[in-house]
Amino acid sequence: MLKVGIDIGGTKIAGGVVDDDGHIVEQLRVDTPVDIAALEDAVVDMVRHFSDSHEVTAVGVAAAGFVDKDGAVIIHAPNIAWRNEPLKEKLEARLSTPVTIENDANAAGWAEYRFGGGAGVDDMVMLTLGTGVGGAIVLGGKLYRGGHGIGAELGHMRFIRDGRPCGCGQSGCLEQYASGRALQREANEIADGGGIGEALAAHRAEKGNISGPAVSRLVLAGDPGAVEALRRVATALGEACGGFQAVLDPSLFVIGGGVAQLGDLLLEPVRLAYETALPGYGDRPIAEFAIARMGNDAGIIGAADLAGGGA
């Protein structure tokens, strides 16, 4: 069977036709309209385009925000003006196929569980390091959504009391310390301090800012300032994973997002911090760590598979 997966981001809408093995057989991307009515039109047009060439049996839509337990209503979205938006009802009224709405991090995590870094594991936690920190939890082979459908917001666990302000309205959230944006912040702080930050400061003076990819390139080159910035972010992530282990006891953590492209350079300090933060370490089983494999297509594939009844 073929399903359509739609991944709605703040700047682009990516969609694809996905088969039962998680392969994308056709794919499209368009800019995300600012107006929510135009955004709905863009999703409908994309699905109709795919349906003209393929026999589509279901549609899954992934979007950043709080989605209710029935996969029908977007309760709140940080980057799009959705508040208690009955998106499933609106889309199904215009399409001839059933629609499921899912949180984008959940969709990406499900894709990794089914077809990527978490394949073959029943209990998995995925953390995606991007602008923020996205989370997804699979327990006993089922996607965990919580009592209201908005569980697994792992990036908004309070990590530091009275810490850095977060876009969610709280302070000290994990994503302020373990995201791609946090890596840039740490790099800038190290650049300001001189010493090991000389290469970072020189890059900033030339380019005007220190981007995440620039920090990654300097890490790969062995620059001590960039390596220290990565160590700080990895340490925060590893310490948080120790806490997640105490509560959820997954057998695997899958790490995704742009920072994850550093592979073992990221995972080694993550593992070290995880081990030192783990209650009862040395006397209990520990989790494995893996890098996500599905890349930018994870949201499309996961949304499509969930629409087909995958969870």
Do 96 and 170 lie in one domain? The reply is no
User: Per-residue pLDDT averaged across 41-61, rounded?
Assistant: 97
Do 138 and 286 lie in one domain? The reply is yes
Do 103 and 147 lie in one domain? The reply is no
115, part of any domain: no
249, part of any domain: yes
Structural element, H or E, at residue 36: helix 36-53
Do 226 and 181 lie in one domain? The reply is yes
245, part of any domain: yes
What is the C-alpha to C-alpha distance for residues 82 and 240, in angstroms, rounded to an integer? 30
Do 247 and 153 lie in one domain? The reply is yes
Report the relative pairing of strands 288-291 and 252-256 from DSSP bridges. Answer: parallel
Do 144 and 252 lie in one domain? The reply is yes
Helix, strand, coil % in the chain, rounded to nearest 5: 45, 25, 35
Q: In what order do the strands lie in the sheet with 74-76?
A: 66-67, 74-76, 83-85
Q: Model confidence at 45, in pLDDT bands (50, 70, 90)?
A: very high
Q: Model confidence at 281, in pLDDT bands (50, 70, 90)?
A: confident
Domain with residue 45: its CATH number is: 3.30.420.40
The string of pLDDT tens digits covering residues 175-197 is: 999 999 999 999 999 999 989 99
Do 288 and 301 lie in one domain? The reply is no
Model pLDDT, residue 310: 66
What is the C-alpha to C-alpha distance for residues 78 and 292, in angstroms, rounded to an integer? 24
The string of pLDDT tens digits covering residues 67-117 is: 999 999 999 988 888 999 999 999 999 998 999 999 999 999 999 999 999
What is the C-alpha to C-alpha distance for residues 242 and 247, in angstroms, rounded to an integer? 9
Count of domains forming the chain: 2
User: Per-residue pLDDT averaged across 141-155, rounded?
Assistant: 95
Do 82 and 29 lie in one domain? The reply is yes
Range of the domain at 135: 120-292
Residue 142 pLDDT > 80: yes
Q: What is the DSSP letter of 217?
A: H
| Torsional sign, CA 195, 200, 205, 206 | positive
Q: What is the DSSP letter of 158?
A: B
Residues of the chain with pLDDT > 90, as a percent, come to: 90
